[in-house]
Amino acid sequence: MAKYGVAALFLILLSLVTGCALLKSSPGEPIVSPTEAASTAADGLPLTVLSPTVGTPAPTSSHSTNQAVPPVVLNSVNEVSALDRADLKVLSKIGIHLANAEITLSSGAGIRKGHLKIEKISGDADCKVRVQDSEKGIEISEPLLRHSPDGHSAVVKVKSALPVVSKCRFSIEIGLKKAADTNIELVRGTLSVEGWDEPLRVKMEWGEIDVGTVGELSVVCGRCSLTGEGVEGPLHYTLETGNVGLTGLAGSVEGQTLGDTVLKWRKLRADSNVKLSSRAGDVILFFPETVPLAIDLKAPHGEVNSRFQTGAHGVPVSVSAELGNVKVYRSTKEAVSQ
C-alpha cells in the first residue's frame, strides 16, 4: 500500500507541473488571466489613441501592428478671413498668390517682432485665404478657385484692360526685422514695399507698385504703374502698358513698356548695363555727372536729346522709343561707383 501511495502522489505532482507550463504561451511571457485580457479591445487596438502633435511622430503600440500610423504634420495650415500674428521669426521665403489684394511689405531694425496681419476688405463669408506656415517660410494663397455660374473662372484676364476678378479682396501686411526672398502673384491689386533688401519678384495683371529702398526687383505686369526710389539691386520690368518713374537707382536696369519712363541714378556701378524699350512714350534718363557711358539711342518717330557723346566707352546704355522722344541728362554731384 505504501508503494501505491507514493506512486499516486508522484502522478499528482507531475500533473500540477505540466498544467503550469501550459499556461505560459512562450518563454518569458507572463501568465495572463481572463480578466486582464478583457481590458484590451476585441480588435487588438488600444482603447485610447492619442493624436500626434506638430512635428512629433505618432506613438507606436505593440497592439496596433495592423493599424496605419497617421503621417507626421510638418506644416501648419489655416484658412482664415482675418489674422493678426506677432510671432514671425526669421523667414527664408514668402509667397503670396491671390486674385485681389492690397499688400504692404516692410523690414528693418526698428521692427522688433515680425508680424502678419490679414483683413478681408470685401467679400462674403466664403472669402478666405490659406496660410501655410513652415520652417521654410510662409505661403498665402486662395484655398479654392472660385467659378462663376456659367462655369467660367471668376478671374478673367483681359490684355491691357481692367481684369474681372472675384469679389473677395484682402489686405496683407507683413513686417520683418530682416527681409525674405519674396514671390508675389496678383491678378489685381496694389503693392507697397519699404526697406526690402532681399530679391522681390512680382507678377500682376493690373495695379500699382510703389517701392522704397529695395534690393533686386523683377516686375511683370499687364497694366501697371511702377514708382518709387532707392532700388539698389538689378531692376527688370516688363509692362504691357504703364508709366515708370524711379529715382535713386544704383545698378543695372532692363525694362520695356508702353508708356513714359523716367529714371534717375544716384550712382552707377562700372559693371552695370542699361537696356530700355518703349513702344510709345518718352524715355527720360538722368545719370551721374562723371560716369562714362557707351550710349545707343533710337527714336524713329521722335527726337533724341543727349548730353553724352554717342559711342563713347563706358557703361552700355541702349534706349529705343518707337513712338516718343529720348532725353539723357547729367545729374550733378554724382559719381560712378567702382
pLDDT digits (tens, 9 = 90+) for 180-198: 999 999 999 999 999 999 9
The H or E element that residue 17 is part of is: helix 2-23
> 192 near 107, Cβ under 8 Å?
no
User: What gap in Å lies between CA 272 and CA 254, rounded to an integer?
Assistant: 10
- pLDDT over 90 (residue 40): no
- pLDDT over 50 (residue 54): no
C-alpha cell at 131: 496660410
Q: Choose between 50 and 238: higher pLDDT.
A: 238
pLDDT attached to residue 144: 60
Q: Choose between 84 and 64: higher pLDDT.
A: 84
C-alpha cell at 145: 478657385
Residue percentage of the chain with pLDDT more than 90 = 59
How long is the chain?
338
Residue listed under C-alpha cell 496681419? 117
User: What gap in Å lies between CA 282 and CA 291, rounded to an integer?
Assistant: 23
What would the pLDDT profile of 141-193 be if each residue is shown by its tens digit? 988 644 444 433 344 444 445 555 668 999 999 999 999 999 999 999 999 99
Q: Which of 60-69, 119-128, 140-149, 216-225 has the lowest mean pLDDT?
A: 60-69
Residue listed under C-alpha cell 514708382? 227
pLDDT attached to residue 90: 86
Residue listed under C-alpha cell 493690373? 206
Tell me if residue 13 falls in helix, strand or coil. helix
What would the pLDDT profile of 251-303 be if each residue is shown by its tens digit? 999 999 999 999 999 999 999 999 999 999 999 999 998 889 999 999 999 99
Beta strands in 156-273 (DSSP E): 169-176, 181-196, 200-214, 217-231, 235-241, 244-249, 253-257, 261-265, 267-269
Strands 315-321 and 283-288: unpaired
Residues 6+ apart with CB under 8 A from 162: 188, 206, 223
pLDDT attached to residue 60: 43
Residues 6+ apart with CB under 8 A from 117: 83, 84, 85, 171, 172, 173, 174
